[in-house]
C-alpha cells in the first residue's frame, strides 16, 4: 500500500467529510491557490460548537520530501472518525484509548487538520526530484533556474532575520532565492513574510479559528518532539529579554551566550507535559524513544510555524495562546512504505494521546 | 554529481557551527545531537566535493546512501491514480484506505 499521491490526499479529505461523516466534520477550502494553481483543503472534526471549545491544529506536508506527514494525518483523521462513528475505542499495539476518550475528543474539542500544505512541492518530489524541500514558486525574485521558497521559513516570526540575529549565528535560513548556489540548502525565506500561498493558508486557519490553543507541525526526520523556541536557548526569568525587544537585535541565535528567549514557566510546564504524553504514546506502540527538546539546539531558525504560532499572543494579546510543536518523525525522509506504516501507527497513537491530554488538561485556556 | 546522506561528527562545538557559517553545508533541520561523550553529530546532504572538503577540514564524515538513487526507488512506492475515487463507487464511507490496514 504505497504513499498517497497529491490527488489522493485531497480525495481522502473529501471522503472524510462526506456521507454520514458530514454530521461532525467540515471540509474547509483554503483561500490561496498554489503557484501551480492547486486548491488546498483542511478538515475540522467536531461534534458541537461554541467558542469555549479548545482547538487543536495539526499541519503537515509543508516540506515536499517529507511524504509521510500527509499519510500520518489522513490516517489520524480516518481512525478518529471511524472510531467515533462506531462508538468504539482505538488500539495501537499495546496502547488503547476507550470509546469515551474518542467521544470526548470529538464532542469537546475542535480538531483541525491541514495535511497537505505544499501540494506543488509534494508532486515535484514524488515525480521528479525526491529530495525537493521548498514550494515551486518561479516568480521574481525566484526564477525557473532557482525556484522555490521554504514555507517553514516564511512565517512572520523574526522573518527578516539579518536584522534580529547575531552575525555569528549559524542560522539555517537563506535570503538568497538560489540558496547561495547550493540548492540542497532549500531554506530561502521568500521575498516577504507570508509571501507564499502555502504559508498564507496555514495562517488563515490560525486567524479564522481563534480558539486554537494547541498546534503541531508534522515534519521529518529525527525522532524529535520540539517545543518553542527555535531562535535561541530558552529562559524563564527575564520577561523583557524576548523576540519583540529591539534592544536585543543583533544578539539572537548564538547558543550559550547572554541572550535567551523568554518562555513563561507555566507555558514551559504545559509544553513539557503535553509533549511527554505524546512521547509515551508513541513509545508504547513499539518502543521508539523520541526526544522531547526545545527547537533550538546548535542551529537557530527564524520564520518557522511553531514559533510563529506560539508568538502570536505575545505580539497581539487579544489572540489566544497556542502551545506549539514541531514533530520530526522517523529516521529518513522517505522510509520504505512498510516502515512508514509502522511510523503512521505510532504517530497516530501520539496524536490521539495529544488530543486526550488537551481534553483532560488543566492548562489555562 | 551524486548527492549523499552523510553524518558529520565532531567534539568541537564551534566546528559544528561552522558547517553552516563557513562551509555552507545543508544540515538537516533540528538534527544536531550530542551523545553522552559530548560528541556532536548532524545529518546533512552533500556531494562528493563537499564530503572531500569536510574531511580535509578535519570533520569525521560517515557517508551513506546516494539520496537520488534511493529517491527514485521511493518514487516507485507512490500511489498511482486515485485509489479513493476508484473505490468510492458504491463503497460508502467505510471503504477507507488506511482504515483497511
Q: Mean of the pLDDT values across residues A215-232?
A: 97
Task: Tell me how far apart the terminal alpha carbons of chain B are, to the nearest angstrom.
Answer: 40
Q: CB distance from A17 to chain B under 8 Å? A: no
Reported as a single tens digit per residue, the pLDDT across A242-293 is: 999 999 999 999 999 999 999 999 999 999 999 999 999 999 999 999 999 9
Which of A72, A299, A306 best tests the B interface by mutation, with the highest count of B CBs <10 A? A299
| B89 within domain boundaries | no
* pLDDT confidence of residue A183: 66
Rounded Cα gap, residues A126 and A129, in angstroms: 7
Rounded Cα gap, residues B73 and B100, in angstroms: 25
How remote is the C-alpha of A104 from its chain's centroid? 23
Q: Which residues in chain A are contacts of B79 at CB distance < 8 A?
A: 2-5, 8
Closest-CA distance, A52 to chain B, in angstroms, reads 30
Q: CB distance from A133 to chain B under 8 Å? A: no
Q: Whose CA is closest to A214, among A297, A278, A296, A282?
A: A278
Stretch (H or E) spanning A297: none
* pLDDT confidence of residue B67: 95
Interface contact A7-B82, CB threshold 8 A: yes
| B91 within domain boundaries | no
Stretch (H or E) spanning A292: strand A291-294
B-contacting residues in A 240-299 (Cβ below 8 Å): 295, 297-299
Q: Mean of the pLDDT values across residues A136-149?
A: 94
| B14 within domain boundaries | yes
Interface contact A182-B26, CB threshold 8 A: yes
Q: Which residue has the higher pLDDT, A281 or B85?
A: A281
pLDDT > 70 in chain A, percent: 98
B72: domain CATH number is 3.30.70
Q: CB distance from A64 to chain B under 8 Å? A: no
Tell me how many domains chain B contains. Answer: 1
- Cβ-in-10-Å burial (0-12, 13-18, 19+) of B56 comes to exposed
Q: Mean of the pLDDT values across residues A294-303?
A: 94
Label residue A181 by pLDDT band (50, 70, 90).
low
- Checking if the pLDDT of B95 tops 90, the result is no
Among the ranges given (A71-85, A257-271, B16-30, B82-96), the one the predictor scored with the smallest mean pLDDT:
B82-96
- Checking if the pLDDT of B89 tops 70, the result is no
Q: Which residues in chain A are contacts of B35 at CB distance < 8 A?
A: none
Label residue B88 by pLDDT band (50, 70, 90).
confident
* pLDDT confidence of residue B97: 57
Average pLDDT value for chain A? 96
| B83 within domain boundaries | no
Which of B13, B17, B24, B29 best tests the A interface by mutation, with the highest count of A CBs <10 A? B29
| B98 within domain boundaries | no
Structural domains of chain A in order of their starting residue, each with its CATH number: 6-360 (3.40.630.10)
Q: How many Cα atoms occupy the beta-carbon half-sphere of A245 within 13 Å?
A: 13
Q: CB distance from A325 to chain B under 8 Å? A: no
3-state secondary structure string, chain B? CCEEEEEEEECCHHHHHHHHHCCCCEECCCCCEECCCCCEEEEEEEEHHHHHHHHHCCCEEEEEEEHHHHHHHHHCCECCCCHHHHHHCCCCCCCCCHHHC
- Checking if the pLDDT of A77 tops 50, the result is yes
Q: What is the largest CA-CA distance in chain A?
A: 57
- Checking if the pLDDT of B100 tops 60, the result is no
Q: Residue A111: helix, strand or coil by DSSP?
A: strand
| B54 within domain boundaries | yes
Stretch (H or E) spanning A311: helix A305-315
- Checking if the pLDDT of A364 tops 50, the result is no
Nearest to B24 among A3, A182, A341 (CB): A182
Q: Which residues in chain B are contacts of A12 at CB distance < 8 A?
A: 84, 97
Interface contact B21-A11, CB threshold 8 A: no
Could you tell me if A121 and A64 are in contact, meaning their C-beta atoms sit under 8 angstroms apart? yes
CA nearest A14 in B: which residue? B84
Among the ranges given (A46-60, A114-128, A277-291, B19-33), the one the predictor scored with the smallest mean pLDDT:
B19-33
Closest-CA distance, A360 to chain B, in angstroms, reads 27
Q: Whose CA is closest to A174, among A190, A163, A158?
A: A190
CA nearest A92 in B: which residue? B101
Rounded Cα gap, residues B96 and B90, in angstroms: 12
Burial string for A70-105 (b: 16+ CB within 10 Å, else e) reads: bbbbbbbbbbbbbbbbeeeebebeebebeeebbbbb
Nearest to A184 among B26, B33, B79 (CB): B26
Question: Which range marks the domain in which residue B62 is found?
Answer: 3-77
Closest-CA distance, B63 to chain A, in angstroms, reads 14
Interface contact A326-B30, CB threshold 8 A: yes
Could you tell me if A345 and A68 are in contact, meaning their C-beta atoms sit under 8 angstroms apart? no
Q: Which residues contact A277 (CB under 8 A, 6 or more apart)?
A: A353, A354, A356, A357
* pLDDT confidence of residue A52: 83
Closest-CA distance, B77 to chain A, in angstroms, reads 5
What ipTM was reported for this prediction?
0.92
Could you tell me if A365 and A213 are in contact, meaning their C-beta atoms sit under 8 angstroms apart? yes
Nearest to A131 among B68, B94, B99 (CB): B68
Nearest to A127 among B18, B27, B75 (CB): B75
- Checking if the pLDDT of B92 tops 90, the result is no
| B49 within domain boundaries | yes
- Checking if the pLDDT of B94 tops 50, the result is no
Q: For residue A312, give Cα distances in angstroms to A94, A273, A353.
A: 38, 21, 25
Reported as a single tens digit per residue, the pLDDT across A4-56 is: 999 999 999 999 999 999 999 999 999 999 999 999 999 999 999 887 899 99
Interface contact B97-A127, CB threshold 8 A: no
* pLDDT confidence of residue A358: 97
* pLDDT confidence of residue A361: 85
Amino acid at each position: 500500500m504505497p504513499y498517497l499521491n497529491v490527488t489522493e490526499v485531497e480525495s481522502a479529505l473529501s471522503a472524510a467529510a462526506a456521507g454520514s461523516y458530514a454530521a461532525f466534520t467540515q471540509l474547509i477550502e483554503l483561500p490561496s491557490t498554489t503557484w501551480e494553481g492547486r486548491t488546498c483543503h483542511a478538515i475540522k472534526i467536531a461534534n458541537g460548537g461554541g467558542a469555549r471549545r479548545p482547538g487543536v491544529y495539526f499541519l503537515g506536508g509543508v516540506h515536499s520530501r517529507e511524504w509521510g506527514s500527509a499519510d500520518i494525518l489522513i490516517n489520524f483523521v480516518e481512525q478518529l472518525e471511524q472510531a467515533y462513528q462506531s462508538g468504539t475505542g482505538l488500539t495501537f499495539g499495546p496502547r488503547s484509548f476507550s470509546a469515551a476518550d474518542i467521544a470526548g475528543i470529538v464532542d469537546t474539542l475542535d480538531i483541525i487538520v491541514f495535511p497537505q500544505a505544499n501540494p506543488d512541492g509534494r508532486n515535484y518530489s514524488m515525480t521528479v526530484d525526491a529530495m525537493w524541500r521548498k514550494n515551486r514558486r518561479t516568480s521574481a525574485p525566484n526564477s525557473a533556474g532557482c525556484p522555490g521558497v521554504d514555507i517553514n521559513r516564511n512565517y512572520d516570526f523574526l522573518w527578516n532575520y539579518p536584522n534580529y540575529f547575531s552575525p555569528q549565528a549559524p542560522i539555517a535560513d537563506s535570503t538568497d532565492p538560489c540558496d547561495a548556489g547550493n540548492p540542497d540548502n532549500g531554506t530561502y525565506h521568500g521575498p516577504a513574510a507570508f509571501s507564499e500561498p502555502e504559508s498564507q493558508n496555514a495562517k488563515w486557519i490560525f486567524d479564522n479559528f481563534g480558539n486554537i490553543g494547541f498546534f503541531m507541525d508534522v515534519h521529518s526526520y529525527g525522532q524529535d518532539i520540539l517545543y518553542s523556541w527555535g531562535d535561541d536557548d530558552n529562559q524563564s526569568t527575564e520577561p523583557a529579554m524576548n523576540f519583540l525587544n529591539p534592544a536585543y537585535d543583533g544578539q539572537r541565535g548564538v547558543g550559550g551566550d547572554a541572550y535567551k528567549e523568554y518562555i513563561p514557566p507555566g507555558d514551559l510546564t504545559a509544553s513539557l507535559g503535553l509533549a511527554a504524553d505524546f512521547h509515551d504514546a508513541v513509545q508504547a506502540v513499539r518502543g521508539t524513544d523520541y526526544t522531547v527538546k526545545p527547537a533550538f539546539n546548535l542551529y537557530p531558525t527564524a520564520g518557522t510555524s511553531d514559533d510563529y504560532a506560539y508568538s502570536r499572543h505575545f505580539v497581539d494579546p487579544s489572540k489566544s495562546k497556542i502551545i506549539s510543536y514541531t514533530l520530526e518523525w522517523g529516521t529518513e525522509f522517505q522510509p520504505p512504505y512498510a516502515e512508514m506504516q509502522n511510523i503512521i501507527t505510532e504517530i497516530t497513537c501520539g496524536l490521539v494521546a495529544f488530543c486526550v491530554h488537551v481534553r483532560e488538561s488543566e492548562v489555562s485556556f | 554529481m551524486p548527492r549523499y546522506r552523510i553524518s558529520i561528527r565532531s567534539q568541537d562545538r564551534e566546528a559544528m557551527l561552522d558547517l553552516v557559517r563557513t562551509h555552507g553545508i545543508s544540515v538537516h533541520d533540528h538534527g544536531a545531537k550530542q551523545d553522552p561523550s559530548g560528541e556532536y553529530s548532524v545529518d546533512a546532504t552533500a556531494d562528493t566535493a563537499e564530503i572531500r572538503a569536510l574531511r580535509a577540514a578535519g570533520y569525521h564524515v560517515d557517508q551513506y546512501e546516494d539520496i537520488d538513487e534511493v529517491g527514485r526507488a521511493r518514487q516507485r512506492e507512490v500511489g498511482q491514480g486515485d485509489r479513493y475515487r476508484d473505490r468510492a463507487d458504491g463503497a460508502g464511507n467505510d471503504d477507507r484506505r488506511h482504515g483497511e490496514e
